[in-house]
Amino acid sequence: MPPNLDIDILRSFVLGVQLNSFAKAAERIGRSQSAISLQLRKLERAANCEVFVKSGRGLQLTDAGETLFRYAQRILDLNDEAINAVDSSGISGRVCIGMPPDFAETWLPAVLGRFARLHPQVVVEARVDRHANLLQDLEGGQIDLVLLWGDTQINPSLPGRNLAEFPIVWVGPKDFDPEQHRPLPLVLMGPPCMFRAAGTSALDMADIPWRLSFTSSSLSGLWAAVSAGLGVTIRTPEGIPPNLTVIKARMPDLGRTRLRLHTTSSPSRTVLRFIEILDEQLKINLVPGSVLPRFSVVR
């Protein structure tokens, strides 16, 4: 019979990968780093494979380690799902989240699906809208948490933090040549829009003429117009359709933007649990090409 994988060891392993540091994982679960190191050695013996290899001053997952990490996530999810299914004191209630359309069409379904499996008693509502509307609903208590682009002005009594940082990019058809399109045709959302402001300001500073060729209130409308050859748009690399591409040549740099999370002043236990799962899924989805990052040396 094959050996059984220890749930506690798998949890330490997955947490260390997600935090990009086993020192942080040890602190989070209240164990010493030497105890975590021992757990990882036990995991390699049980799986009969090398999970990590040294890479510079850190550690990197082997191919077998990446495979084991994906299975470990599924095992932990099933374990937690089983416990929550029979635990009458489990999380329940309602959580309402608001976010820009970029994420509603990319990794949001994975977050919602995982949360629903782990906490089937919770009703989840998602609202996809513009920043101004989401902020108004958050301040009015109609939304529990929102994801926002950039440094949007918000009531200081509402807790917030940075989740990730993204490049802002030009997106267009794969055969689009900026030099052959002057003034540059732009496909944008109406103001106020952070991406619109970043793009038009960059073009003006670079003395590149531009014209507004199409406006839409939805992300799907932008993608459709760009796919039809009406011009280029400005977003992050998240969720770009496969028939479109990031345009770099002969285009001004647009800098970067931050994704921020804001909640009501006293988020419930259910909301905090949703944020935990959102954090975990975001780390997974932001890994370029599904290649996991390097990890700190475990000592």
Is pLDDT above 70 for 290?
no
Highest mean pLDDT among 66-75, 80-89, 196-205: 196-205
pTM for this prediction: 0.63
Q: How far apart are CA 270 and CA 293, in angstroms?
A: 30
pLDDT for 285: 56
Instruction: Say which residue, 226 or 129, is predicted with more confidence.
Output: 226
Strand partners, 55: 58
pLDDT band for position 223 (cuts 50, 70, 90) = very high
Is pLDDT above 80 for 216?
yes
Which residue from 231, 183, 172, 191 is spatially nearest to 210, judged by alpha carbons? 183
Is pLDDT above 80 for 235?
yes
pLDDT band for position 203 (cuts 50, 70, 90) = very high
Question: Which of the following CATH numbers is that of domain 169-254: 3.20.20.450, 3.40.50.300, 3.40.190.10, 3.20.130.10?
Answer: 3.40.190.10
User: Comparing 149-158, 267-276, 287-296, which segment has the lowest mean pLDDT?
Assistant: 287-296
Condensed to tens digits (0 to 9), the pLDDT of residues 250-283 reads: 889 998 888 888 888 778 888 888 888 887 777 6
Is pLDDT above 70 for 85?
no
Residue 250's φ and ψ, nearest 5 degrees, are: 60, 30
Q: What are the domain boundaries of the chain?
A: 7-87, 93-162+258-288, 169-254
Q: How far apart are CA 12 and CA 26, in angstroms?
A: 8
Is pLDDT above 60 for 288?
no
The reply to whether CATH 3.40.605.10 applies to domain 93-162+258-288 is no
Amino acid at position 270, single letter: T
User: Comparing 7-11, 158-162, 195-199, which segment has the lowest mean pLDDT?
Assistant: 158-162
Which residue from 85, 162, 97 is spatially nearest to 127, judged by alpha carbons? 97
Q: Which helix (H) or strand (E) holds 46?
A: helix 33-47
User: Comparing 143-147, 211-215, 265-269, 289-293, which segment has the lowest mean pLDDT?
Assistant: 289-293
Sequential DSSP letters for 190-227: PSS-HHHHHHHHHHHHTT--EEEEEEESSHHHHHHHHH
Is pLDDT above 60 for 299?
no
Condensed to tens digits (0 to 9), the pLDDT of residues 242-254 reads: 899 998 888 899 9
> Fold identical between 7-87 and 93-162+258-288?
no
- Average predicted confidence (pLDDT) for the chain: 80
pLDDT for 14: 85
Q: How far apart are CA 125 and CA 94, in angstroms?
A: 8
pLDDT band for position 209 (cuts 50, 70, 90) = very high
The DSSP letter of residue 290 is G
Is pLDDT above 60 for 289?
no
CA–CA distances in Å: residue 9 to residues 4, 22, 32, 92, 106: 11, 12, 13, 28, 31
Amino acid at position 112, single letter: L
CB 146 within 8 A of CB 119: no
Condensed to tens digits (0 to 9), the pLDDT of residues 92-125 reads: 788 898 887 777 666 677 788 888 888 888 888 8
User: Comparing 39-43, 75-79, 98-102, 179-183, which segment has the lowest mean pLDDT?
Assistant: 98-102
Q: How far apart are CA 299 and CA 23, in angstroms?
A: 8
**Token digits for 188?**
């944008």
CB 93 within 8 A of CB 122: yes
pLDDT for 156: 62
CB 62 within 8 A of CB 53: yes
What does CATH list as the number for 7-87? 1.10.10.10
